[in-house]
């Protein structure tokens, strides 16, 4: 197949392009606003093609996606804090940019789109969320992902199949600062021998999923011939304070913890029900969190 990956030079995109190059022809479409040319150069050496372009540029996007079978849409503004400071910019890129991607799919008769959505569409929930749970995002970023999902469902009718992957807290090597979550920040602090920063009291929970498991989810999504929305996570949660204790253990207790007031837009509790993805995509996360973290810390040292 021919696969075009918007945002293909980013954290998740780089892994996906590397993976799909073994089986398919892959083109990266990226404006390099949050990624580097060095990432692209490494992927080009492996056989990828690269087009420097913006998803807000409808003409370039449409011309670049002619003749493709699948569009994987990752390009987005994903910083929650930035979305609070600049909600219009984030909405324009994440919603209007997605509309441009969909218009390109329709114009070029692309049969499949796989969209990287987010757990941020749910907001807070004291129980595991399913794909039928109410969407009540707490941030403009979460709202933009929810609106983008709605546009995909609306514009897909009789035009293309879609798979929406609501990705929870993904972690892995080479995670860039633009996407960095609590795990990346903890690793950076450990490398600098400074205290681990916790917002609030650390009781907030997260469902962490390895980038390797996320790649497998995208692979399954590309292969499926039907449309659907799926949670991509581990199905297990851990508190931020418990996470910090794991990292402290890896440093023999030498690293301390420091606290700051919680951010208003931060989700307090987050855990996914992944049974639908397990059933329909045959998605089964394989990377244990402690093993994954151990691997990351050993790489950073």
| Three-state helix/strand/coil letters over 123-152 | CCCCCCECCCCCCCCCCHHHHHHHHHHHHH
pLDDT in tens, 181-207: 788 888 888 888 889 989 889 999 999
The domain segmentation of the chain, as residue ranges, is 2-170+210-232, 171-206+236-270+287-300
Residue 236 has pLDDT above 90, yes or no: yes
| Mean confidence (pLDDT) of the chain | 92
CATH topology for 2-170+210-232? Rossmann fold (3.40.50)
More confident residue, 285 or 297: 285
* Residues labelled as active-site residues: 141
pTM: 0.93
Query: H/E element holding 228?
Result: strand 228-232
Q: What top-level class would CATH report for the domain 171-206+236-270+287-300?
A: alpha beta
Residue 209 has pLDDT above 50, yes or no: yes
3-state secondary structure of 293: helix
Highest mean pLDDT among 7-16, 75-84, 121-130, 266-275: 7-16
More confident residue, 184 or 109: 109
């Amino acid at each position: 197949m021919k696969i075009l990956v918007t945002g293909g030079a980013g954290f998740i995109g780089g892994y996906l392009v590397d993976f799909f190059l073994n089986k398919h022809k892959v083109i990266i479409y990226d404006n390099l606003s949050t990624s580097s040319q060095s990432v692209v150069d490494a992927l080009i050496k492996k056989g990828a093609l690269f087009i420097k372009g913006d998803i807000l540029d409808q003409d370039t996007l449409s011309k670049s996606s002619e003749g493709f079978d699948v569009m994987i849409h990752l390009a987005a503004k994903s910083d929650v804090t930035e979305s609070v400071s600049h909600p219009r910019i984030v909405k324009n890129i994440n919603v209007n940019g997605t509309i441009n991607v969909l218009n390109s799919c329709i114009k070029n008769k692309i049969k499949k789109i796989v969209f990287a959505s987010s757990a941020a569409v749910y907001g807070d929930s004291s129980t595991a969320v399913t794909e039928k749970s109410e969407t009540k995002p707490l941030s403009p970023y979460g709202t933009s992902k929810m609106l983008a999902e709605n546009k995909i469902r609306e514009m897909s009718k009789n035009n293309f199949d879609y798979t929406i992957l609501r990705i929870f807290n993904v972690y892995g090597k080479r995670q860039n600062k633009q996407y960095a979550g609590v795990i990346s920040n903890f690793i950076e602090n450990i490398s600098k021998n400074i205290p681990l920063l916790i917002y609030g009291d650390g009781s907030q929970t997260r469902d962490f999923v390895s980038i390797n498991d996320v790649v497998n989810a995208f692979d399954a999504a590309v292969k499926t011939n039907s449309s659907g929305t799926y949670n991509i996570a581990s199905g297990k949660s851990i508190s931020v304070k418990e996470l910090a204790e794991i990292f402290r253990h890896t440093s023999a207790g030498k690293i301390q913890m420091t606290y700051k007031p919680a951010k208003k837009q931060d989700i307090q509790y987050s855990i996914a029900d992944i049974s639908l993805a397990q059933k329909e995509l045959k998605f089964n996360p394989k990377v244990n969190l402690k093993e994954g973290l151990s691997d990351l810390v050993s790489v950073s040292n």
